[in-house]
Chains A and B, each alone.
Chain A
Amino acid sequence: MNRRKHPIKLGLLILALSLTSAMQADDLFNNNASNLKSGTLLKDRPTYSPVTEQRLTKPEARNWLMYRGTYDSQGYSPLDQINAKNVHQLKPSWTFSTGMREAHQAPPVVNDGYMFVTTPHNHLLALDARNGELLWRYERELPEDQVQMHPTNRGVALHGDYVYMATADAYLVALNARTGKVEWEQEVEDYASGYYMTMAPLAASGKIMVGVSGGEFGIRGFIAAFDAKTGKPAWKTYTIPAPGEPGSESWPGDTWKTGGVPVWITGSYDPASKTTYWGTGNGGPWMGDARPGDNLYATSVIALDVDSGKLRGHHQYHWNDSWDWDEVSAPLLLDFQRNGKTVKGLVHPGRNGYLWFLERGKEKINFVDAKPYVKQDVFKSIDPVTGRPEYNLERKPATGKVTTFCPSSWGGKDWPPAAFNPQTRLLYIPANDNVCGKLKGQEAEYREGQLYLGAALEEFEVVLHEDAKDYIGELQAWNVDTAEKAWSVKFKSHNWGPILATAGDLVFAGGTNDRYFRAYNARSGKLLWQQRTNSGVIGVPVSYEIDGVQYIAVQSGYGVDAEREQALLNLSKGTTTYVPQGGVIWVFALEKENNQ
């Protein structure tokens, strides 16, 4: 017995000594030591390339510096070492278990050898992008009395020497990218009133911008900007106008105070006009008859001046939402052809099941055209000039009524981002078809920080179209110049897979409940490669290059709405499909011998 104890003691002593020296070396005590799990010694970490405005505007092909890679939100990598010819040789290069459950949706953001990944409950990992070595790990202590309606986080923003994360308790945290030290943190709103954040912040023009979640908790949505260096608040623009402001007439009485309209996906940015474009969520509570009116600027795209936050224009995709069709995905900024002219466009596959083509005018957003990309039985018609839909009122949920409508509340496409390949001219949409929704509207009573829904969630059901036996999930490709569908891959499973397009003529996506991550031919949709992973892949895939090797990286970790939809599909289909949880970062490269 005694003999055994010694090695343990010795081991502990060594551990203690090495920890002490590691901590001294890293000076961990000067800040958030309790939140920081150091992976490697500071001296062993790569040097860090500061992220300048110039680099953000034109990121190097080898890096993935923000949520969608570039400000235009195209989700496109110009790297082509991995291509349609050799992708069958793609192999896992390294993996890293995050140790967390729930939805792993963040893209691995990469800056010259540093990879930053966020997990549910706001852990932030810095890894060596070459080999998966943990450099540091920040674990936010979240208040134990908070509600997490959506336990997920969608990634970081980079600016200068800092890395930024928006948190579930509605703080914006700036950490030193190399050391993991918290440089500042700023409360964005009070989590006790139902505010929380899941999006990757947007870094532009010396500011860090975030929007807030909480549309189901009676918040008043907004986008706020903070000085990138100091965290000092710069501006705050509400998505619901206050009485007297333009658009306020679309909210009766006091409904504007608790009308929701969250913003929970990163905006796009046009550096030429210094304009940011954000998608907004639906009004709350869910039943539109609780807030009669158009409810500006709900379910819209809004254009904000990056320096002042001033509203420069908007387009409302659909008015007086009653379906929970958040239109939070930011539109992709891309030029498309129409009637022989090039349109400086905004393209948005809507949760409402329509694919929207808009024009970004100087102080205005113009409607171009729109057409359904999944079965949609709510819109009777669309005004050809304004784009305003007319509704089939039988398909509009209301208080005290049970209504079915297609697509379901999760829409033709929920948050998972679409991607665009400028070479194929194709827009790739992670779609869901043949799943309709059933909602029972009921009155909601506002209580601070509590669910303020207006629908009986016990009776929230999915209703399957007869074609659902053939497919639900889809990967669709649309030519943006002709607004025609080029091809579609169909899945029996629902699809929650964010998309990466690459110059190697490839499209990467997971999203199905069979845990596969796949590569398709960008021109034909032909399946070229697949890898079964630990869990469902609902993370945003990225590509980067180091030392001449191109990598594809993605998180696998099922949860939140994909899981909830699976549960309802199981009920409706009588299936028992189970998708395991737990997050793993996967990084792939071509097999070594083929690299050389």
Chain B
Amino acid sequence: MKTKARNCPTESSAANPGCPCRANAPTHRGRRRALKLGLLGAAWSPLTVFAARKPGKMRPQAGDHLVFAYGERQGEIISPGDLTLNAKPIEAYPKQLASNVIRDRSRLNALLLVRLDPQTLPPTMDKYAANGLVAYSAVCTHTGCTVEGWDPATQQMSCPCHGSQYAAGNAAKVLMGPAPKPLAMLPLSINSGELTVAGAFSRKVGFKVNKY
């Protein structure tokens, strides 16, 4: 029977051992093997965790650059000049320059990069915005679609799947639709003209299944 390595977020499992990682939920032979490996890993955790941190899957890290996720310039580093005021957000992925790795192995790293008027941003966004440049997680907090829609007049980001609308100029506050939470923000900084990530996401990315 075909078994498949799942996109288990090893780095978040390490940070949060309670994370429901599928490799720890053995349901047949392949999974059981995975469980054994997992147990082994738990025994030697510092080493294993280090080895398991695949840079392509890791959440964005401080110092990462951002690259175009799609299109003609896919993979090219995004500089502040690539962003136009109130224009449709650019879809981006973080990239670690030292290892030359784009962190596109998990779609939970997909970002929306937008330039807004810094004068209009609320103080809650100070920690995250860099001269009006803001990076949001592209993954809708409802059930995970990519938030693709954009209204330049209102600076609203919208999710095509069930119509959630987020206010780009107000920390992705949910304005409409089933999304339970704002999109995560990723802090940015600009140093000598280079746009980089300044820290971790403001909250867990992706969606959560509501359970009893």
A, B: real partners? yes
Structural contact, B160 and A147, CB atoms closer than 8 A: no
One of A99, A141, A445 near B20 (C-beta < 8 A): A141
- Given contacts A34-B24, A185-B28, are A457 and B211 in contact (CB under 8 A)? no
Q: Is the CB of B27 within 8 A of A185?
A: yes
B149 touches A458 (CB 8 A): yes
Considering only residues 102-134 of chain B, those with a C-beta below 8 Å from chain A are: 106-108
Contacts of B100 in A (CB 8 A): none
> Which residues of B10-39 have CB atoms within 8 Å of chain A's CB atoms?
20-22, 24-28
CB of B91, distance to nearest CB on chain A (Å):
9
Interface positions of A from 175 to 220, Cβ below 8 Å from B: 182, 184-187, 190, 192
Are A184 and B28 also in contact (CB < 8 A) when A145-B7, A145-B106 are? Answer: yes
When chains A and B are docked, how far (Å) is the Cα of A13 from the Cα of B147?
A: 48
Stretch at the interface among B41-49, B75-83, B138-146, B186-194: B138-146
Contact among A32, A145, A190, A445 with B108 in the assembled complex (CB-CB below 8 Å) = A145
Contact A31 B27 (CB under 8 A): yes
Give the Cβ gap from B27 to chain A, nearest Cβ, in Å.
5
Kindly provide the distance from the CB of A97 to the nearest chain B CB, expressed in whole angstroms.
7
Nearest 3 A-B pairs (CB), nearest first? A99-B212, A148-B143, A457-B160
User: Chain A contacts of B21 at CB under 8 A?
Assistant: 141
Which of these, A35, A149, A231, A563, contacts B145 with CB under 8 Å? A149
Q: Any chain A CB within 8 A of the CB of B89?
A: no
Given A145-B206, A149-B143, A35 contacting B9 (CB threshold 8 A): no
Interface string of A139-151 (1 = CB under 8 A from B): 0011111111101
A486 nearest CB across to chain B (Å): 36
B107 near A145 (CB under 8 angstroms)?
A: yes
A563 to B161, CA, bound (A): 12
Contact A144–B25 (Cβ < 8 Å): no
Given contacts A100-B212, A187-B3, A190-B4, 15 further A-B contacts (CB under 8 A): A32-B27, A97-B212, A99-B212, A100-B209, A101-B210, A141-B21, A142-B209, A143-B6, A144-B9, A151-B143, A451-B160, A453-B160, A457-B149, A458-B160, A564-B163
Neighbouring A residues of B8 by C-beta, 8 Å: 143
Asked whether any CB of chain B lies closer than 8 Å to the CB of A51, the reply is: no
A449 to B27, CA, bound (A): 25
Report, as a range, how many residues of chain A touch the other chain: 35 or more
Q: Decide if B27 touches A451 in the complex (CB within 8 Å).
A: no
- What are 26 sample pairs from A and B whose C-beta atoms fall under 8 A apart? A31-B27, A34-B24, A99-B212, A102-B143, A141-B25, A145-B7, A145-B9, A145-B144, A146-B144, A147-B144, A149-B143, A173-B27, A182-B27, A184-B1, A185-B1, A185-B27, A451-B160, A456-B149, A457-B149, A457-B158, A458-B150, A458-B158, A560-B162, A563-B178, A564-B162, A564-B163
Query: CB distance B211 to A100 under 8 Å?
Result: yes
Of B70, B107, B150, which one neighbours A445 at CB under 8 angstroms?
B70
Instruction: Tell me, yes or no, whether A315 is within 8 Å of chain B by CB.
Output: no
- Chain B CB within 8 A of A447 CB: yes
CA distance A141 to B21 in the complex (A): 8
A567 CB-CB contact with B under 8 Å: yes
The A331-366 residues at the B interface (CB cut-off 8 A) are none
A567 touches B108 (CB 8 A): no
Q: B residues touching A (Cβ–Cβ < 8 Å)?
A: 1-4, 6-9, 20-22, 24-28, 70, 106-108, 143-146, 148-151, 158, 160-163, 176-178, 206-207, 209-212
8 Å CB interface, A126-172 against B: 141-149, 151
**Residues on B with beta carbons closer than 8 Å to the beta carbon of A142:** 209
Cβ contacts under 8 Å, B1 to chain A: 184-186, 231
Compute how far the CA of A192 lies from the CA of B176 in the bound complex, rounded to whole angstroms: 28
- Please tell me if the beta carbons of A187 and B26 are within 8 angstroms of each other in the complex: no
Check if A121 is an interface residue, CB within 8 A of chain B.
Answer: yes
Taking a contact as CB atoms closer than 8 A, the residue among B9, B70, B160 that contacts A447 in the complex is B70
Contact of A187 among B2, B20, B143 (CB under 8 A): B2
**Are B146 and A32 within 8 A (Cβ)?**
no
Measured CB to CB, the closest approach of chain B to A118, in angstroms, equals 14
Please give, as numbers and ranges, the residues of chain B lying within 8 Å of A31 by CB-CB distance: 27
Contact flag A147-B143 (CB < 8 Å), given A97-B212, A458-B149: yes
Interface assignment of A450: CB less than 8 Å from any CB of chain B: yes
Provide the bound-state CA to CA distance between A147 and B160, in Å: 12
Q: Which residue of B is nearest A97, CB measured? A: B212
Collect the chain B residues with CB atoms within 8 Å of residue A143's CB: 6-8, 22
- Complex Cα spacing A373 to B160, Å: 30
> Would you call A149 and B26 a contact (CB within 8 A)?
no
C-alpha gap A521/B131 in the complex (Å): 67
Of chain A, the residue at the smallest CB distance from B106 is: A145
User: Cβ of A98: which chain B residues have Cβ within 8 Å of it?
Assistant: 212
**Once the chains are docked, how many angstroms separate the CA of A102 from the CA of B180?**
12
- Given A144-B108, A145-B107, are A563 and B162 neighbors across the interface (CB < 8 Å)? yes
Q: For residue B107, which residue of chain A has the nearest CB?
A: A145
- How far, in angstroms, from A97 to B107 measured CA to CA in the complex? 33
Residue of B nearest to A183 (CB): B28
Q: How far is the CB of B11 from chain A (nearest CB, A)?
A: 12
Find chain A residues with CB under 8 A from B2 CB: 186-187
Mark interface residues in A92-108 (1 if CB within 8 Å of B CB, else 0). Answer: 00000111111000000
In angstroms, Cα B26 to Cα A231, docked, is: 17
Q: How far is the CB of B102 from chain A (nearest CB, A)?
A: 15
Distance of A215 from chain B, by nearest CB (Å): 13
Task: Please name all residues of chain A whose beta carbon is closer than 8 Å to the beta carbon of B24 when the two chains form the complex.
Answer: 34
Give the residue name and chain of the B residue nearest to A173 (CB): B27
Complex-state Cα separation, A34 to B21, whole angstroms: 11
Q: Considering the chains assembled together, what is the distance between the CA atoms of A143 and B1 in angstroms?
A: 19
In the complex formed, the residue of B with least CB distance to A449 is: B107
| Residues of chain A within 8 A of B28, CB atoms compared | 182, 184-185
State whether A121 touches B209 (Cβ < 8 A). yes
What A residues does B177 contact at CB under 8 A? 567
B49 to chain A, nearest CB (A): 18
Residues of A within 8 A of B7 (CB): 143-145, 192
- Knowing A32-B26, A145-B107, the reply to whether A567 touches B163 (Cβ < 8 A) is yes
